[in-house]
Structure 1
Amino acid sequence: MSSPSNAATAHWWQRGVVYQVYPRSFLDTNGDGIGDLRGLIARLPYLAWLGVDVVWVSPFYPSPMADFGYDVKNYTDVDPIFGDLGTFDELVATAKSHGIRIIVDFVPNHTSHEHPWFLAARTARTSDKRDFYVWADARPDGSPPNNWVSVFGGSAWQWDEATGQYYLHTFLPEQPDLNWRNPEVVAAMHEVMRFWLDRGVGGFRVDAPLPMMKDPAMRDNPPNPGRPTFHRPFGDYDTLIPLHNQGHPDIHGIFRGFRQVLEAYGREDPRVAIGEIYEFDWSAWASYYGVDLDELHMPFNFGLLGIAWKASAAARLVADIEASLPTGAWPNYVLGNHDEPRIASRLGSEARARVAMMLLLTLRGTPTLYYGDELGMPNVPIAPENARDPFEHRVPGLGVGRDPERTPMLWDASPNAGFCAPSATPWLPVGDAYTQRNVETLRADPRSILTLTRTLLILRRQIAALSGGTYRALVEGDDDGFVYLREAAGRRYLVALNFADTERTLTLTGVAEGTLLVSTYLDGGESLGDGGGSSAPRDLRTLRLRPDEGCIFELA
């Protein structure tokens, strides 16, 4: 049984639920077809109604948009597409008035090739900014310094004709890697963090941090005979094991430096660092909390993104995470983000998406929701000629483009789904689902997935056991049934999930009666097997679950 978090002393990022907003796609208020910060401000009442506590805002910094904001030209400003610093300050203040904290993306591995540092660095080898980036001579035959491959395909090295060296880019050539072995880079980026912390942000989601520290000897990566490296194909990147181009042990010192910057803001108003750690060796993943919990507050746990939709797989993952956590560390779970197919499309049905939502919001740890998943938004098919994602253009034929999960939020049944004016053209299509699957329609439906998500968020906020209690699995080896207990302050709750599209009966030990709080069917559980209403105690020793049903019971 895992240890509880004391609700009275838990930090806000432990008690809360994070909601990711991709600002380009949330709400357009100026008619250019691109979402903006003013749109996010306008929808804060909706997010407060939904019950989220933290909004993570994807990049809004000035950028040439080669990778839609993850190529940063200026770390301490707002791109005019999205607004300005005054609008950002208004966002933080308005969110605070709704009881919501704002965290922002921090993109430390690379800048844009248009950043003033890089423009200066490539003027001459003697430039005072030259060592802000990773440069290397060509091999004797003129080829790149080693075999490292870009995540977006092709060599990770770009030849710079003017200065006669290669520069490193883990992602696009337009995203040159910073040299974090240079203390001046460390100091400059710490100042970036302070700039946003001083403006009141609750902390950072740290983008792609593992490549920040590479092997200083720049050795070749070994071949990868067991492709793919991750849970989906990555093209050329999968041909090699990324042994030397990321995750060098020195990264722990960088994370400790981040933590020190955050800790300087005091324990009365703690700030958080959540790292984008695509690591599926759970021992290695857990190391980024730090030996003394002095590194990342939470390395994102992406385990649920790639597992087969089987109860046994989910249970095994949770067991592995709980077993790997350092003492006192706080877990977290993710089911969707701007780089992954939408839950409803990935799992194949809304019914499964409902069970997945109950799983996410009842496990021990901090959950992260991706905008629109509360609606069961599907991926939107994007014709090849309309693809915007550079990943799709550079690694064609594998379907790696991320446009389908980045399409506009569906607000109502009007043209363009209320995302932008009917006369505007949204930057990505809204698809066909919006006429029925939108906030306005689903909010009025007492059995919608939106209503279910809000109900679960309300329960999580009201019941200490769901946000900070202990966790213990009762059924975890069954491919269809996953059942676990959450407990705090002497009150126990049972979560029972049927991953199958057929009815299942589970035999439970150690429990007797319980009162149904919510079923993913949102019908009072009339068909659960004993004929009682939702307020009637039920015998849980033999529990019948309908196809794709999840239930939460309070135990007697």
Structure 2
Amino acid sequence: MEQKWWHDAVVYQIYPRSFCDSNGDGIGDLNGIRSKLDYLQELGVDVIWLSPVYQSPMDDNGYDISNYQAIAPEFGTMQDMEALIGEAKQRGIRIVMDLVVNHTSDEHSWFQQACESKDSPYRDYYVWRDAKPDGSAPNDLDSIFGGSAWQWHEPTQQYYLHLFSKKQPDLNWENPKVHDEVHRMMNWWIDKGIGGFRLDVIDLIGKEIDKGITGNGERLHPLLKQMNHATFGGKDLLTVGETWGATPDIAKLYSAPERDELSMVFQFEHITLTWKDGDKWQPIALDLPEFKKVLTKWQLELADQGWNSLFWNNHDLPRAVSKYGDDGVYRTKSAKMLATVLHGLKGTPYIYQGEEIAMTNVKFERLEQYKDIESLNFYKVKTEAGVSHEEMMHALGENGRDNARTPMQWSAASQAGFTKGKPWIEVNPTTPR
């Protein structure tokens, strides 16, 4: 396999809302990140993976984009973004943008115009279907966030598809105009000097809803090859896809160099080992021999036919030291052990903010302390189905996404040095700096 710069790189993921607040409004921002570039350089970071900072109503904390070519005001301005790219580059650090093209926000101008009428030129940018004769949804497809994946639109008398929140309508990748719009936008960001893209839930863009196919459909790989050729291909950029259903054989389809698709993918087989029957809201103890078996399998089976992304946690997952180690007496030793294992494997290591200081899961005692839309939706779905409040609070404490989203703890000062104001989510009281 031809050597690429990312084969020797260390990637550090920043969740901007929770990293560093520069203006005291309680929300992390781009200038806060800029203020910590020297820290990241000293840490040995080669790449910053930046979770979405695009304009968004923040229904899903930025993964619901209303304008791909604007910055959310709470994070700063486009000038701040350009300064971050430039100042990081001066330190030898590339910025990889987190990009969501499976869906947009329902406040995106494309969707707003699509809702005007069935004859709108933007109607086919999204997935619409008629109701069944009894008025019910076109099929029984569920949203990943719980409930039906179909939302009725009264003015035009059709359902639209949302595999996530109802405020995140799915784009129709069967429409070539969608390809052109997305490719044009990606090239606009590439021209700004970014180092690549992390492609959120990219395995869903090849969906064939009428056949019941969502992830890893037959249409997926031709779409990725087309995207590669139209945008980042041949430009020495890092591209990594989020692919929850990937096996080693599927991962090779994405990342084998001769296929002209992506640099690598995130697989989650090791993550789901602590989910009973694939349900993250039923946490179970880790089977260590099986865990070792899975990690070994991915190391051996990709070999020189693809490339591994190495990670323990990210913005969607619980803290590594709480999940795989001991976050009490042996917190520091556990964190060092996990770092040693991760960096000893073949692949590109991805570090999530706070992992380097052994941040732990948060133990919120009240449901009101949680902010994450997925957690709140599933609490409602599960308790209505008979799961007790106590069981769901335990599940949220084990696997809820807010475990990763409490503010970065910079010091022992008030609000952990994250902000001089009131943080958007409570600081984790259990992790000493």
TM-score of the pair, normalised by structure 1: 0.69
Identity of aligned pairs, percent?
A: 41
CA contact (8 A) 1:347 1:353 kept: no
The secondary structure found in structure 2 opposite 1:316 is: helix
* Match of residue 54 from structure 2: 61
CA distance in 2, matches of 1:432, 1:359: 28
The Cα offsets for residues 281-314 of structure 1, whole Å up to 9 and x where unpaired, read as 3322332225833111101133343447566434
* Match of residue 280 from structure 2: none
Amino acid at match of 2:401: R
After TM superposition, the structure 1 stretch with the greater mean CA deviation from structure 2, 317-326 or 73-82, is: 317-326
* Match of residue 278 from structure 2: none
The secondary structure found in structure 2 opposite 1:102 is: strand
The secondary structure found in structure 2 opposite 1:162 is: helix
Aligned structure 1 segments of 4 or more residues deviating by more than 6 angstroms: none
After TM superposition, the structure 1 stretch with the greater mean CA deviation from structure 2, 354-363 or 163-172, is: 354-363
CA change 1:330–1:262 in 2 (3 A) is farther
1:195 Cα deviation from its structure 2 partner: 1.1
CA contact (8 A) 2:11 2:348 kept: yes
Map 1:379-458 onto structure 2 (within 5 A).
Answer: 379-382=361-364, 383-396=366-379, 397=392, 398-399=395-396, 401-421=400-420, 424-433=421-430, 436-437=432-433
CA change 1:120–1:11 in 2 (3 A) is same
1:347 Cα deviation from its structure 2 partner: 2.2
The Cα offsets for residues 305-326 of structure 1, whole Å up to 9 and x where unpaired, read as 3447566434422332134327
The Cα offsets for residues 388-426 of structure 1, whole Å up to 9 and x where unpaired, read as 1111221103525311221100001110010001xx100
CA change 1:429–1:411 in 2 (3 A) is same
CA contact (8 A) 1:213 1:245 kept: yes
CA change 1:206–1:409 in 2 (3 A) is same
CA contact (8 A) 2:225 2:259 kept: no
CA distance in 2, matches of 1:285, 1:256: 14
The Cα offsets for residues 197-220 of structure 1, whole Å up to 9 and x where unpaired, read as 00000000000112212125x135
Amino acid at match of 2:350: T
CA contact (8 A) 2:48 2:93 kept: yes
Is 1:331 matched up with 2:297? no
* Match of residue 124 from structure 1: 117
TM-score of the pair, normalised by structure 2: 0.88
* Match of residue 494 from structure 1: none
Map 1:368-379 onto structure 2 (within 5 A).
Answer: 368-379=350-361
Is 1:353 matched up with 2:331? no
Is 1:364 matched up with 2:357? no
CA distance in 2, matches of 1:326, 1:296: 16
Structure 1: runs of 5 or more not aligned: 221-243, 438-556
Map 1:534-549 onto structure 2 (within 5 A).
Answer: none
Q: Which of residues 269, 273, 296 is equivalent to 2:239?
A: 273
Map 1:58-207 onto structure 2 (within 5 A).
Answer: 58-207=51-200
1:265 Cα deviation from its structure 2 partner: 5.5
CA contact (8 A) 1:302 1:333 kept: no
The secondary structure found in structure 2 opposite 1:409 is: coil
The Cα offsets for residues 68-127 of structure 1, whole Å up to 9 and x where unpaired, read as 100000001101100111100100111011111100111000000000000000100000
* Match of residue 219 from structure 1: 211
After TM superposition, the structure 1 stretch with the greater mean CA deviation from structure 2, 352-361 or 406-415, is: 352-361
After TM superposition, the structure 1 stretch with the greater mean CA deviation from structure 2, 245-254 or 349-358, is: 349-358
Q: Which of residues 247, 265, 271 is equivalent to 2:216?
A: 247
Structure 2: runs of 5 or more not aligned: 275-285, 380-391
Map 1:36-55 onto structure 2 (within 5 A).
Answer: 36-55=29-48
1:430 Cα deviation from its structure 2 partner: 1.1
CA distance in 1, matches of 2:231, 2:357: 34
1:64 Cα deviation from its structure 2 partner: 0.6
CA contact (8 A) 2:203 2:243 kept: yes
Amino acid at match of 1:279: G
CA contact (8 A) 2:318 2:400 kept: no
Q: Which of residues 301, 305, 319 is equivalent to 2:267?
A: 301
The secondary structure found in structure 2 opposite 1:404 is: helix
Amino acid at match of 1:298: M
CA contact (8 A) 2:199 2:242 kept: yes
The secondary structure found in structure 2 opposite 1:176 is: coil
Is 1:32 matched up with 2:1? no
CA contact (8 A) 1:262 1:271 kept: no
The secondary structure found in structure 2 opposite 1:76 is: strand
CA distance in 1, matches of 2:155, 2:288: 57
Amino acid at match of 1:261: A
Matched length: 400
1:348 Cα deviation from its structure 2 partner: 4.1
1:262 Cα deviation from its structure 2 partner: 4.0
| Higher CA-based Rg | 1
Amino acid at match of 1:381: K
CA distance in 2, matches of 1:381, 1:257: 45
* Match of residue 321 from structure 1: 298
CA distance in 2, matches of 1:316, 1:47: 33
Amino acid at match of 1:336: N
